[in-house]
Amino acid sequence: MKPFRYGCVVTDDAFCPRPGLQKALEGHIRDGQNVVLTGERRTGKTSLIHETCKGMKRWRMLYADLLNIRTAADFCNRVATAAAHLGPASSLAGKALQFLSRLRPTLSLDPSSGMPVVSVDSALAADPRSMDDVMGMVGKLAAGGRTFVVFDEFQEIRRIPDWEQALAVLRSRIQMLPEVCFVFSGSVRADIVDIFTNPSSPFFKSAIALTVGPVPDDDFAPFLTERFARGRRTVARDLLDEIFDFTNRLPGDVQQFCSAVWNATDPGTVVGREDLKRALSDIFAQEGGAFEIQTERLTRFQFKALVAVARWGGKKVFSGEFIRHAEAPSAATVARALKSLVGTGLLFVHEREYRFFNPFLRAWLLARFPI
Ligand SMILES: Nc1ncnc2c1ncn2[C@@H]1O[C@H](COP(=O)(O)OP(=O)(O)OP(=O)(O)O)[C@@H](O)[C@H]1O
Ligand SMILES: [Mg+2]
């Protein structure tokens, strides 16, 4: 099996231990303390949740991924399906259906995984109040204790047309279940913080915050070195440090880079700087097509601003120098272009600095469009 994994949840041996975070999360869950787990994208939030659960013997996790939900019915389907997966399958799926009878649920099996899938009647569940039925079911299933509930990508709730009402419905149910721990997870760039820190939100101050940052270099480096060694490759710490810097320490990007280095080298070799370069060109070869499509869609000023951030950095973006580099007529043009680039997800703002969402895109732009 490939020693480096990215773009998926990692657990067990593929998970670099994060004892502090695992302990904190487990402690909150055991205490019934609701948690809002935030961090950059690909920083390991979902993996942390799954790995923590694996370590909690005799505990069950109702894990609902809310990515791309659009309606209250979508929410109901995701949560009811997650409930049906709590296992042992047959009895729980049956119970979930029974508790939701008002929404006329149907049960089918996912052809690829063989797991149960619950779908409620979308017309009956169109109103956010239907979410109350599902939350009631969650409460009943969790009533036996030792069950916690995860709403991953929780900010997606805002895609529901009546999302304010949806939040209020959820909040009032959750308040009625003080013994059940809820973990709300989402990317910091995706509004989740606002749901918990905006005084007008029903979720204001309702959960304790836990931030998932990068894996510390001194923990990640030995983990990665050992994985290179399994494939009989030796890698020096300074090269790993280069990879950490290049990827802004986001674990998913670090693993993608390491995987490319592993593919570009033979067993018995010592990884060198040239191998990093080859790995990067392999990533460009794989992802270049997508990068082209993403950048071709941009207006002239958006493109120039993107290249200028790649080359000159995203801190002093309204300085005369940056505006000149971006070939923009004014600071307002730069501001508009950057706003659109953030909107399309190519850039994000971190501590007032515009940064690339994907460090490989930045490197690709630099290689492709030298001054
Ligand atoms: N503890 C870890 N050890 C090793 N690799 C990790 C760890 N945590 C995350 N990763 C790497 O990061 C990738 C993304 O992890 P995960 O999906 O858990 O992150 P996430 O924060 O939930 O991402 P997203 O914002 O996309 O939901 C994994 O595929 C893996 O390559
Ligand atoms: Mg995730």
Q: Provide the pLDDT for residue 309.
A: 97
Confidence at residue 97, expressed as pLDDT on a 0 to 100 scale: 80
Query: Residue 170, Cβ neighbours under 10 Å: how many?
Result: 23
Taking CA atoms, 289 is separated from 4, 149, 281, in Å, by 23, 39, 13
CATH level 3 topology of 17-212: Rossmann fold (3.40.50)
Please report the pLDDT score of residue 252 as a whole number. 94
**What CATH architecture applies to the domain 297-371?**
Orthogonal Bundle (1.10)
- Please tell me the distance between residue 348's alpha carbon and the centre of ligand 2 in angstroms: 18
Ligand 1 in contact with 105 (CB < 6 A)? no
Atom of ligand 1 nearest to the CA of 41: 25
9 C-alpha to ligand 2 centroid (Å): 8
Q: Which helix (H) or strand (E) holds 94?
A: helix 89-99
What is the pTM (predicted TM-score) of this model? 0.92
Residue segments in the chain with a per-residue pLDDT below the cut of 50? none
Instruction: For the chain, give every domain's residue range.
Output: 17-212, 216-296, 297-371
Q: Would you say the CB of residue 7 lies under 6 angstroms from ligand 1?
A: yes
336 and 253 Cβ atoms separated by less than 8 Å = no
The bound ligand whose nearest atom lies closest to the alpha carbon of 63 is 2
- pLDDT at position 216: 96
User: pLDDT tens for residues 186-218?
Assistant: 987 667 888 888 888 888 888 999 999 999 999
Distance (angstroms) between ligand 1 centre and the Cα of 22 equals 14
Domains 17-212 and 297-371 belong to one CATH topology: no
- Closest C-alpha to 166, from 181, 151, 178: 151
What local confidence, expressed as pLDDT, does residue 338 receive? 97
pLDDT of residue 73: 95
